[in-house]
């Protein structure tokens, strides 16, 4: 059967409803990883003042002595820098002290911070592969053992990590391109009428947005292909482009529909949190905590729905593509 938005979305919800055990494992492992990262941060002995913005010391009126009064005519001829507003000077000194404290802390804590960052990246990559493999098993067979979590995550870890690094490199390159375009627009704006710069900015901005959306849709199968087809990062990239060829609009509709569902649920919980704030008091705070927890569970659940829907679409594409090949090979076998 060919891919369809309704079929994929329905499979996404059905798969998520059968994945509560996997969802629990994902939450437990994520909490453990973030707990270890938080412990590493704690071991760096973060200065307490870094947890709040720079705060200038309270200004105290200075007592004027007779010697200072005698020197008043001399100080009146000093440069304007000596007459800086006390409040401005206090804020500047507080910001400088905060920055100095942060620099000193980073100077001694960067190895631990780098370790924590590497741990989060590695764990997130492994969990992504585990989640995709677990959900793909349910989409294909209707059920999956929790052991599939460990097997899929371990099997695809290396390829997914390389794919993540390639993604990071692409983002950095695109960022540099954007900076160069902004600099070019600034030069054009300085040498041409204002309306020319405005038109160019709009055209380039819209073109960048369209290109980003087009590329994001074409790459939506990249990580699922790596896990499901058990291929390397470059082969998975090619598989994503093949699977999305000729199906861009349908796939974009599926992704857009999933985004609308996620946004609608998030808006609902935001409204409920607003109601809890209006109630106030202990009851309002307790209700706010419950709503926040339910919102977190809903987000994780919808994450499973979205990934399962994408997997259903991808599996339908690959199965429909392989069916003609199998049919054409059948007469040769006889």
Residue 281 scores a pLDDT above 70: yes
DSSP state of 220: T
Q: Rounded to an integer, what distance in angstroms lies between the CA atom of residue 17 and that of residue 93?
A: 56
Confidence at residue 255, expressed as pLDDT on a 0 to 100 scale: 95
**Residue 53 class from Cβ within 10 Å (0-12 exposed, 13-18 middle, 19+ buried)?**
exposed
Residue 286 dihedral angles phi and psi, to the nearest 5°: -65, -45
Question: Following DSSP, what letter does each residue of 136-195 receive, concatenated?
Answer: HHHHHHS---THHHHHHHHHHHHHHHHHHHHHHHHHHHHHHHHHHHHHHHHHHHHHS-HH
Residue with tokens 């994780």: 300
The Cα 225–Cα 314 span in angstroms is 8
Question: Sorting pLDDT into bands at 50, 70 and 90, what band is 320?
Answer: confident
3-state helix, strand, coil in the chain (%, to 5): 85, 0, 15
More confidently predicted of 205 and 17: 17
Highest mean pLDDT among 57-61, 86-90, 140-144: 140-144
Q: What is the mean pLDDT of residues 263-277?
A: 91
Q: How many Cβ atoms from other residues are within 10 Å of residue 305's Cβ?
A: 23
- Where is 271: in which H helix or E strand? helix 248-279
Give pLDDT, residue 333. 44
Distance of CA 56 to CAs 47, 63, 70, 113, 145, Å? 17, 20, 30, 28, 58
Confidence of residue 207 (pLDDT cuts 50, 70, 90): confident
Distance CA 319, CA 250 (A): 17
Mean confidence (pLDDT) of the chain: 85
In this predicted structure, the answer to whether residue 263 has a pLDDT above a threshold of 50 is yes
Q: Which of 168-172, 183-187, 311-315 has the lowest mean pLDDT?
A: 183-187
Mean pLDDT, rounded, for 202-228: 91
pLDDT tens column, 117-165: 999 999 999 999 999 999 999 999 999 998 988 999 999 999 999 999 9
Q: Is the pLDDT of residue 303 over 80?
A: yes
pLDDT value of residue 332: 47
pTM, to two decimals: 0.81
- pLDDT > 70 fraction of the chain, expressed in percent and rounded: 86
């Amino acid at each position: 059967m060919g891919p369809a938005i309704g079929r994929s979305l329905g499979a996404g919800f059905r798969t998520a409803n059968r994945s509560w055990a996997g969802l629990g494992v994902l939450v437990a492992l994520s909490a453990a990883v973030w707990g270890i990262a938080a412990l590493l941060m704690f071991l760096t002995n973060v200065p307490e003042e870094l947890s709040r913005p720079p705060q200038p010391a309270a200004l105290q009126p200075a007592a004027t002595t007779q010697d200072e009064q005698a020197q008043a005519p001399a100080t009146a001829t000093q440069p304007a820098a000596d007459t800086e507003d006390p409040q401005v000077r206090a804020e500047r000194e507080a910001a400088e002290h905060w920055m100095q404290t942060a620099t000193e802390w980073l100077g001694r804590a960067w190895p631990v911070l780098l370790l924590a960052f590497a741990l989060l990246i590695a764990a997130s990559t492994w969990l992504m592969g585990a989640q995709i493999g677990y959900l793909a098993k349910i989409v294909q067979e209707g059920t999956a053992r929790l052991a599939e979590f460990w097997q899929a995550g371990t099997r695809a870890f290396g390829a997914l990590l390389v794919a993540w690094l390639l993604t990071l490199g692409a983002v950095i390159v695109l960022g540099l391109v954007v900076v160069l375009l902004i600099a070019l627009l600034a030069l054009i704006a300085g040498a041409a009428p204002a309306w020319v710069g405005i038109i160019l900015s709009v055209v380039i901005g819209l073109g960048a947005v369209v290109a980003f959306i087009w590329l994001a849709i074409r790459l939506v199968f990249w990580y699922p292909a790596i896990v499901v087809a058990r291929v390397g990062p470059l082969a998975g990239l090619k598989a994503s482009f093949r699977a999305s060829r000729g199906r861009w609009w349908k796939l974009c509709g599926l992704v857009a529909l999933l985004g609308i569902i996620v946004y609608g649920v998030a808006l609902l919980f935001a409204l409920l949190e607003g109601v809890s704030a209006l109630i106030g008091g202990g009851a309002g705070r307790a209700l706010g905590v419950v709503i926040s927890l339910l919102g977190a569970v809903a987000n994780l659940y919808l994450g499973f729905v979205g990934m399962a829907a994408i997997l259903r679409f991808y599996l339908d594409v690959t199965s429909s593509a392989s069916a003609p090949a199998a049919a054409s090979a059948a007469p040769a076998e006889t």
